[in-house]
């Protein structure tokens, strides 16, 4: 049995690259979530008006990798204190967000976020949003496995 996790952490190219490297991740795809329109295109989302975040949908085998491990990867690959931005990429589509797919994921994420917040490790408050997953719209094919196709870096 597999489980699904969805994370937004800036430009989705790098997010997919990072999660694909994790043992126990059986599939990953990039797409758009958390907006107000159906079947958004990259162009729609870029404009920032639809409210979607660039995100990565990760299918994993919980017998091999835990949701907590994926949360650790998520927090390692981006700066969760930046609001509607990740480095050079600015706009609400680049927000930091966890889209939970079960009550168990919600509580696991809430716990980790509270730990990070109270650890004093961050110099600014955590900006990560914790929200229930609505529809995930798969992005255009040329955005899938982008770094594999074009080279490029990833944060970890």
Rounded to 10°, the helix 67-76/12-20 angle is 140
Q: How far apart are CA 82 and CA 94, in angstroms?
A: 9
100 in contact with ligand MHO (CB under 6 A): no
**12's tokens:** 């989705």
Distance of closest approach, residue 54 Cβ to ligand MHO, in angstroms? 5
- Identify the residue among 5, 8, 9, 11 touching ligand MHO (CB under 6 A): 11
Q: Is 154 a residue of the active site? A: no
Distance of closest approach, residue 12 Cβ to ligand MHO, in angstroms? 6
User: Strand, coil or helix: what is 98?
Assistant: strand
Distance of closest approach, residue 18 Cβ to ligand MHO, in angstroms? 14
Q: How far apart are CA 6 and CA 98, in angstroms?
A: 6
Tell how strand 3-9 and strand 96-100 pair up: antiparallel
54 in contact with ligand MHO (CB under 6 A): yes
Tell how strand 129-132 and strand 96-100 pair up: parallel
- Identify the residue among 7, 13, 99, 137 touching ligand MHO (CB under 6 A): 13
* Cβ atoms 45, 37 nearer than 8 A: no
9 in contact with ligand MHO (CB under 6 A): no
Tell me which stretch binds ligand MHO (CB under 6 A): 9-17, 31-39, 65-73, 96-104.
9-17
Binding site for ligand MHO (CB under 6 A): 11-13, 54, 88-89
Which are the catalytic amino acids?
Answer: 11
């Amino acid at each position: 049995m597999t489980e699904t996790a969805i994370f937004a952490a800036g430009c989705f190219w790098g997010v997919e690259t990072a999660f694909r490297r994790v043992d126990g991740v059986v599939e990953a795809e990039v797409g758009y979530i958390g907006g107000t329109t159906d079947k958004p295109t990259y162009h729609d989302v870029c404009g920032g008006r639809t409210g979607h975040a660039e995100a990565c949908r990760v299918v994993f085998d919980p017998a091999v990798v835990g949701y907590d491990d994926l949360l650790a990867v998520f927090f390692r690959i981006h700066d969760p204190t930046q609001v509607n931005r990740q480095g050079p990429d600015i706009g609400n589509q680049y927000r930091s967000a966890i889209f939970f797919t079960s009550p168990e994921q919600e509580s696991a994420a809430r716990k980790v976020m509270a730990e990070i917040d109270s650890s004093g490790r961050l110099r600014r408050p955590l900006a990560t949003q914790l929200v229930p997953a609505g529809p995930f719209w798969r992005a255009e094919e040329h955005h899938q496995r982008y770094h594999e196709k074009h080279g490029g870096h990833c944060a970890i």
